[in-house]
Amino acid sequence: METTDVAVVGAGPTGLMLATELALAGVRCRVLERRTETPNTTRAFAVHARTLELLDARGMADELLPRGVPVRAISPTPGATIDLGEIDSRYPMLLIVPQSGTEQVLERRAREAGVVIVRGAEVTGLRQDILHVVLQLADGTEETARYAVGCDGAHSRVRDLLGVPFTGTEYATHILLADVRLDAPPPEAMFAETSAAGAVIVIPFGDGWFRAIAWDRQREQVPLTEPLPMDEVRDAFVRVAGTDFGMLEQRWSTRFLSERRQAAQYRVGRVLLAGDAAHVHSPLGGQGMNTGIGDAVNLGWKLGAMVHGWAPAWLLESYATERHRVGAQVLALTDAFTNLVLGYSRVRKVLQSAAVRTIVRVPPARRALLGRLTGIGIAYPAARGSHPWTGRRAPDVVCGSRRLYELLRDGRFVLVDASALGLAAEAVADAAVVRTTRATPTTRRPDVLLVRPDGYVAWAGEDTPELADQARAAVARWCGTEMRVA
C-alpha cells in the first residue's frame, strides 16, 4: 500500500517546485529532505526571464520580484553589452535574488497546497516493481509511492541507486565564494571583471551583503578543504579588478569545484531525475537553478496525468527526451562561457571575445544568444510536418480581460482560439484537463494554440476547413479527452 502518489527526494528549488506542480495537479506528494534545517547560505542568485514567466504561470512571480534586484543589461565579454529589454517578455530582466528567497516562496506555496515536507528523512535505498517504488530511509523506515523523483542534488543518492552514469568532467579552476560587506560597492547591479590574473564578480543581495566570486589564477589549486579567509578574497579582487570595494566583513566563504556532468538517463521505470541530480555545470551564466525549475514544471503535469490515468503512453517519456536535450544545451552554453572567461589560451580568448562581440552586434545572433541565456528560446522538438509553432514557448497572449499566463495558473491546458470558427465556444468534454478561451486574431501568431500546462505550444492550427478536425485530434492526443466541435 503506497504512502503517497509521488515521493520527491530533496527540498531544494527543484524538489519544491515539483511539489507545488504535483499539488496543483491534485496529486498526493511527500517531499523527503535529509536536512533538518533550511540552509542560511545561498548558491544561485540569478533568476532568468523564462523562470519568472513560469513562476508567473503559477502566480508566484509577483511574490519573488520585490525580494530581488533587477538587472536590465548584461555584458558577456568586455565591450559587448546586451540590453535585456530586447526580449519579448513581461520580465525583461535578470532578477538577483538569493536562492534561499526563491526557496522560501516555493516552500510556502507547497505547504499551502498541502504538500507534506518531511525533514530529517535521508533516502538510503530504493527498489521498484511495475506498480510501486519503495524508498528506504536512514532511520530504517520505508516510504512507498507510485512514482519517485530524485531532486537530491549533484551528489544524488537516487541516481546512484538507479545506477545511472553521471557523465562528464570537472573544471581545473577552484572558485572562491564569499559573502561580504563592502564599504565602496560598485555602482553596477552586477559587477564583473576579467584579467590575466583571473575573473571576479560582485552581486548585491539587496540587504547590505554581497556575494564576491573569484577565479584566482594564483590560488586555483588550493585544496577545497582549506579555509578561505577574507584577505585571500580581497587579494584576488585587487589583483584582478584593481580594487576590493572596501571589503569590511565576511560572514561565509568556501572554495568550490565546478563540474560539467549530465545523467545518461532521466528516467528508469517509475523513478525520474530532475535538477542538479540530472545535470551540473559551471555557475557562469546562472543556469543551474533555472534549469532545475524548468525540469520541475515540465515534469509535474505529466506525472499528474500518469497518476490520474489520462496520460498517453508516450507522455512521461517526453519529459526525459525534452529535458535531457535542454540540459545538454545548458552544459554547452555554460562551458562556452567558462572557456571565454577562464580559458588559458590567450589567442583563443581573444578570438572568442571577438566572436561574442560580433554576435552581440548582429541582431538575429544576439537574439539567439539572449534566448538561450534567458531561457526564452527554449523549445521542444516537434514531429515532422507539425506547425512551426509546435514546441515553442507560448507568448503571454491577451485573452479577453486576462492574460494567458494567468489562465495557466490552475495547471490546465489552454486552447487559445482566435479563429473565425469559434472553437472556444464549444464545450470541451473534460474541463478538468483543458479550458478554452477566445483571443483577438493577429498575423503575429497562429489562429489557434493548444498550450500545455507548462506554457509550451502542444499544437497550433490555422483557419482552414480542417481546423476543427485537427483541433479535435490534438486535444485527444495531448489531453486524453474529446473535444466537441460543431
Ligand X SMILES: Cc1cc2nc3c(=O)[nH]c(=O)nc-3n(C[C@H](O)[C@H](O)[C@H](O)COP(=O)(O)OP(=O)(O)OC[C@H]3O[C@@H](n4cnc5c(N)ncnc54)[C@H](O)[C@@H]3O)c2cc1C
Binds ligand X (CB under 6 A): choice among 153, 391, 411, 461: 153
Answer yes or no whether residue 252 interacts with ligand X by CB under 6 A.
no
Options 7-15, 165-173, 331-339, 450-458: segment touching ligand X (CB under 6 A)? 7-15
Residue span 52-81 as binding mask against ligand X, x where in contact by CB under 6 A, dash where not: ------------------------------
Question: How many other CB atoms sit within 10 Å of the CB of residue 257?
Answer: 11
- Which uninterrupted H or E stretch holds 96? strand 94-96
Question: Please, which residue, 153 or 395, has the CB nearer to ligand X?
Answer: 153
What's the count of helices (H) and strands (E) in the chain, helices before strands?
A: 12, 25
Strands 209-216 and 247-263: unpaired
Could you give the CA distance from residue 294 to residue 54 in angstroms, rounded to a whole number?
8
Binds ligand X (CB under 6 A): choice among 43, 372, 387, 445: 43
Binds ligand X (CB under 6 A): choice among 11, 27, 416, 434: 11
Options 182-190, 285-293, 382-390, 429-437: segment touching ligand X (CB under 6 A)? 285-293
Cell numbers at 237, concatenated: 579582487
Residue span 14-33 as binding mask against ligand X, x where in contact by CB under 6 A, dash where not: xx----------------xx
Could you give the CA distance from residue 128 to residue 10 in angstroms, rounded to a whole number?
19
Answer yes or no whether residue 44 interacts with ligand X by CB under 6 A.
yes
Residue owning grid cell 577562464: 342
Binds ligand X (CB under 6 A): choice among 68, 101, 198, 292: 292
Answer yes or no whether residue 232 interacts with ligand X by CB under 6 A.
no
Answer yes or no whether residue 300 interacts with ligand X by CB under 6 A.
no
Strands 4-9 and 142-150: parallel
CB of 56 to ligand X, least distance (A): 17
Answer yes or no whether residue 289 interacts with ligand X by CB under 6 A.
yes
Options 44-52, 70-78, 378-386, 455-463: segment touching ligand X (CB under 6 A)? 44-52
Answer yes or no whether residue 123 interacts with ligand X by CB under 6 A.
yes
CB of 153 to ligand X, least distance (A): 3
Question: Please, which residue, 256 or 310, has the CB nearer to ligand X?
Answer: 256
Binds ligand X (CB under 6 A): choice among 8, 9, 305, 356: 9
Answer yes or no whether residue 45 interacts with ligand X by CB under 6 A.
yes
Encode 280-307: b = buried (16+ Cβ within 10 Å), e = exposed.
bbbbbbbbbbbbbbbbbbbbbbbbbbbb
378: closest CA among 13, 12, 43, 48?
Answer: 48
Strands 398-399 and 279-280: unpaired
Question: Please, which residue, 32 or 448, has the CB nearer to ligand X?
Answer: 32
Question: Please, which residue, 336 or 471, has the CB nearer to ligand X?
Answer: 336
Could you give the CA distance from residue 405 to residue 454 in angstroms, rounded to a whole number?
10
Cell numbers at 281, concatenated: 555545470
Answer yes or no whether residue 99 interacts with ligand X by CB under 6 A.
yes
Binds ligand X (CB under 6 A): choice among 53, 107, 276, 335: 276
Question: Please, which residue, 19 or 423, has the CB nearer to ligand X?
Answer: 19
- Which uninterrupted H or E stretch holds 175? strand 166-182
Answer yes or no whether residue 115 interacts with ligand X by CB under 6 A.
no
Answer yes or no whether residue 151 interacts with ligand X by CB under 6 A.
yes
Binds ligand X (CB under 6 A): choice among 30, 157, 260, 452: 157
CB of 16 to ligand X, least distance (A): 7
By CB under 6 A, name the binding residues for ligand X: 9-15, 32-35, 43-46, 99, 122-123, 151-153, 157, 177, 256, 275-276, 283, 286-290, 292
